[in-house]
Structure 1
């Protein structure tokens, strides 16, 4: 899925901000949060066996991600299998945009803490090296499970993942100075060993409008198929852009098809559903989730629900399912 990068409006990288107990951001503080560990380049070479190909977890336009090992208490590098596993993202040194994304991730993830947001363990800013160290998510990305793995994830698991992501976005939007994630897609949703979902990749996140502002003007960035139509045409960013992204993610969860694959065509539920589920889903529940997805992806942002409303709707669906299972037993 391609990336968007236009200049239909004033371009701006994610604002450097700080998070406080009051849930307030201030754009004049750019130093990494005090709770983050500063790693040396040599430490991370040792942790990843010199960024060995056998440690490679994935790669993209930003650079590569490696699996590493560190001591749980001292954070010193250890041998494979000793201590705790971490994910080490090494940005391309020649990429100016990559450096901006690195700074945004340090800024936001260093100060935002939520059970459904990836934990940033530390960073390395030695010489030209721009490296981030995250908690390791053994379940991999949601995209892998939806589009690549032979064994499909169950309907119940898909609803649970949707609730987790909605919780993360609702949290970001509820902050005193709102944070707009801006680049939600299935490859940015990571799963732990229990398939609990967490948002990762905050490189394109930025502060939302404040005061009497209705939007933030930015350059158009993101992923084709996920970006809201009004954002693509105007560069005007609001929390409703995240809602649109989430609606597309819901459609991917329902259908098992990638964004852009005629996902927005309203069809009968059986024709919309991921065939790999083999009918193992409650039709009424699937219909409710599909209706919510289409509300989220409405062409008019004013007619989309906010993320708090989306979360409530999903939790009610999940609760209804949990209650019916309990009654059946």
Structure 2
């Protein structure tokens, strides 16, 4: 593939590995954004200086890369929404490589699997909420909460609804204006519109953010995402990280329920006036409803959005942490 003059808008949906090698400088450590057990993530720089994110899926990932690739490409390629990360291209290319088996090296066909999506310069919500230099005022936090909820609403109300099943602050990316975009659909499922609940034997996700019925029984529904959403709203509103060592985060939830009274909110958000304080209180209340153990007691995404829209919009901006 010729690279001269290639722009983000002109990228074809399927890319050769040679092209991705070129724009990442052979997957240079200097361009690496992060690495974990399931993938290595790089910046890819196009000829005109535009940046794209290149995710190289690991062959020995806890979630098979074929499944993650299928989820990402089939579920979100082509989706357009201001609060969903745009998938722009992919690569799935077999290559002969030397692999070691029982102290012997043999040539085997290994398929390189890569995904490309738009680059969000502010990075993850997790980094911005809990990083060393994180200072986000309440007005921005409230905007982020509403944006995430709009993204979830879009996914859940598609003609063939999509359940994310991996919502957490690390999978929410922020653009230059601090607008949130939901990313990483590796665990996602397309949910038949005639289904309300489903049992799966493959329980994968993020410990601390998984709904208890999914974690312990493999039962998934739209309310599984609502549970995870509640924990994210809770973290954004309280500025306290869900660091519970329990898989279902009940210790963290119980602490918020007990401690975050209006008196606590006023002491933490000292510069907010009444309307802003009421916004914080309402968001914490919504979050606590979302993390009810009984999933039938959790609100729908429609209810959450309508309640957020009904809150006063002209809150005083709080510049304190």
Scaled to the shorter chain, the TM-score interval is 0.7 to 0.9
Match of 1:6 in 2: none
Distance in 2 of aligned mates of 1:164 and 1:111: 20
Give, in angstroms, the shift of residue 156 of structure 1: 0.9
Residue 103 of structure 1: which of 62, 65, 70 is its match?
70
Computing the radius of gyration over CA atoms, which structure comes out larger, 1 or 2?
A: 2
Match of 2:232 in 1: 249
Match of 1:239 in 2: 222
Distance in 1 of aligned mates of 2:71 and 2:214: 20
Map 1:244-283 to 2 at 5 A. Answer: 244-261=227-244, 262-265=251-254, 266=257, 267-269=259-261, 279-281=270-272, 282-283=276-277
Map 1:1-329 to 2 at 5 A. Answer: 37-70=13-46, 78=47, 82-95=48-61, 97-127=64-94, 128-211=111-194, 213-218=195-200, 219-261=202-244, 262-265=251-254, 266=257, 267-269=259-261, 279-281=270-272, 282-317=276-311, 320-322=312-314
- Relative distance call for 1:264 and 1:102 in structure 2 (3 A) is same
Distance in 1 of aligned mates of 2:112 and 2:266: 42
- Relative distance call for 1:165 and 1:272 in structure 2 (3 A) is farther
Match of 2:108 in 1: none
Distance in 1 of aligned mates of 2:264 and 2:226: 21
Give, in angstroms, the shift of residue 315 of structure 1: 2.4
Classify the secondary structure of the residue corresponding to 1:58: strand
TM-score, scaled relative to structure 2: 0.80
Query: Structure 1: which 5+ runs fail to align?
Result: 1-34, 71-77
Distance in 2 of aligned mates of 1:98 and 1:270: 46
Query: Structure 2: which 5+ runs fail to align?
Result: 1-10, 95-110, 245-250
Give, in angstroms, the shift of residue 255 of structure 1: 2.2
Classify the secondary structure of the residue corresponding to 2:80: coil
Classify the secondary structure of the residue corresponding to 1:57: strand
TM-score, scaled relative to structure 1: 0.78
Q: Is the 8 A contact 1:116 1:168 kept in 2?
A: yes
Give, in angstroms, the shift of residue 45 of structure 1: 0.9
Q: Is the 8 A contact 2:265 2:277 kept in 1?
A: no
Q: Higher RCO, 1 or 2 (CA under 8 Å, sep at least 6)?
A: 1
Classify the secondary structure of the residue corresponding to 1:38: coil
Alpha-carbon displacement from aligned partner over 1:252-272 (angstroms, at most 9, x marks no partner):
102223224443121233686
